[in-house]
A and B are shown apart, each in its own frame.
Chain A
Amino acid sequence: MKALVFIEQRNNVIKKSSYETVRAARDVADALDAECIALLVGSGVESIGGTLGRYGASRVLIVDDPALAAHSGTAYAKAIASVAAAEGAELVFLPASQMGKDLAPRVAVKLKAGLASDCIALRVEHGTVIGTRPVYAGKALLDVRVNSAVKVFTLRPNVFPATIAEANVGVQNATVTFSPEDFGAVVTKVEVVVGRPDVTEADIVVSGGRGMKAAEHFSLIESLAEVLGAGVGASRAVVDAGWRPHDEQVGQTGKTVSPSLYVACGISGAVQHLAGMSSSKYIVAINKDKDAPIFQMADYGIVGDVFEIVPELTAQLKQMLGK
């Protein structure tokens, strides 16, 4: 049996969520006596593939084509499905990143496979993989089994560990030929905000809510985030008020985050907000209302004024972390 893992690279840098996915796929492959093959798609990606062995890939394949320098969902999906078919892979894993979520359904249709999306745990029982995935915004968990011959899984970023164990391995070419029709959608430009990590990838997230009172007070949130190397999040109330951009919204109609530490400042903890951050490993709440629902979710809370606590926390952390 073979498992194929799609590796996301941007500007020829492999994303952490892809290392997590290889490691998780390797664990599943070991339980099934299967081979774990990593697949890199892009242009000039040969030199970056070797390290995948250290995360558990027993073999690394690349589909390397100048036409693939810019991301194209249609063409990348063809590359993955073609290689999976050529290798006879029964299991296909992708990170549930924005790129992985865009590709997985296309790969699934091409391979007539069922897709278990956004899994947060995988286990092998009686020779089949069972995925656990949050539904209803994390208010319930579903154990699912894919019954088609080929099975596709996407894995939520920041949940599976990316541990290093094995050695580097060599990289081999896989051939896939493309025609112009394969490029129905093509990325022409990528604009990345440099400096601060995105909330879905950050190890620590500092979020602000209506308790921050005004857009300009988010400088307090940003300073705390800066000291911690954290991403900045927001509640919908402040996004709707125009204080923060949409892509910072955490919650049921925003982003789902699973950092090691989530710091909620002036956020009440409405169910729709909790839905997006309840899988954080540790939660800190700072709110002046002791009855705010966020305290039921928090590991540590301070019942107090954000304008007093947040700057003090920033100052003390700065000293401690030597920044």
Chain B
Amino acid sequence: MKIAVCVNHVPDTETKVKIAADGQSIDRTGVNFMMAPYDEIAVEEALRMRDKFKGDVTVISLGNEKHKETLRKALAMGADKAILVRDDSERDSYGVAVGLAAALKPLAPEVILFGKQSIDYDDAQVGTLVAEMLGMPSVSVAVNIEIQDGKAVCVREIEGGHEIVEIKLPAVFMAQKGLNDPRYPSLKGIMAAKNKPIEEQVAAPADRLVETLAMSKPPAKAAGRIVGTDKTAVPELIRLLHEEAKVI
């Protein structure tokens, strides 16, 4: 089975966001980048599928030279091949999807995995955009995927429950937490990854459909109030919630 996984290289979740001088993006000085957490889950799922059905796993990232770090990590986890779809500009999700779809098409994968969402722009759209561009069905927020006889049965998270989705292959899946617990790269894997080549391609051009006008910090919260230090504070807390906040 041919499996492809798209992985993004994003700021660490610990990042303290500072707005850059352009007023449109974050200040990247001192920011650590890593593979997006949901994408680790997607890579893990791909490796498990390969181990079950044979075939190979290609990981793809669209972005600048730095994205090789994340591709290298995926290789260290056990992916077979890596492709950097090179683009040094800031694309919107639509542009990222155009570039990824163009790179994925010639590979003709039976399964394409994405993370549920990147943790930078939190768009949660690239996987489904690519699926539609390639004319494939998709399952977003997948917490279980069972492949059998040219189709898959998935469990998809919805508000307050789950949906069981039947889907024909080739198909796109977006990994949600709960699908699996991603492995850490082994020392052997890290060594092996150093020798695996990363293929480079130039990203297909795309228009920018969504334009950023300004980035700002959310309004700072006024300092809260400590109501008390034991259960005698409970009546006052209830009074504040009822009379001041009016939420109960």
Contacts and interface: CB of A to CB of B under 8 A. Distances in A.
Interface string B112-132: 000000011111111111011
Interface stretch (A34-42, A209-217, A277-285): A277-285
A275 B120 CA distance: 12
A301 B241 CA distance: 12
Interface residue range, chain B: 35 or more
B13 A117 contact: no
A125 B132 CA distance: 31
A246 B151 CA distance: 26
B140 A201 contact: no
Contacts of A188: 153, 164-166
Interface stretch (A50-58, A83-91, A169-177, A310-318): A310-318
Contacts of A246: 143, 176-178
Contacts of B226: 290, 295, 301-303
B247 interface: yes
A127 interface: no
Contacts of A114: 92, 94, 209-210
Interface residues of A, number: 94
B1 interface: no
A76 to B, nearest CB: 12
B138 interface: yes
B13 to A, nearest CB: 5
Given A184-B171, A193-B161, A228-B248, A146 B210 contact: yes
Interface string B191-227: 0000000000000000011111111111001011111
B179 to A, nearest CB: 9
A142 B212 contact: yes
A246 B11 CA distance: 23
B93 to A, nearest CB: 7
A185 to B, nearest CB: 4
A136 B122 contact: yes
A309 B121 contact: no
A77 B129 CA distance: 12
A13 interface: no
Interface string A170-200: 0000000000000011111111110011101
Interface of A: 71, 73-74, 77, 97-99, 101-102, 104-106, 108-110, 113-118, 130, 133-148, 184-193, 196-198, 200-201, 204, 228, 245-247, 249, 252-254, 260-261, 271-272, 275, 278-279, 281-285, 290, 295-305, 308-309, 312-313, 316-317, 320-321
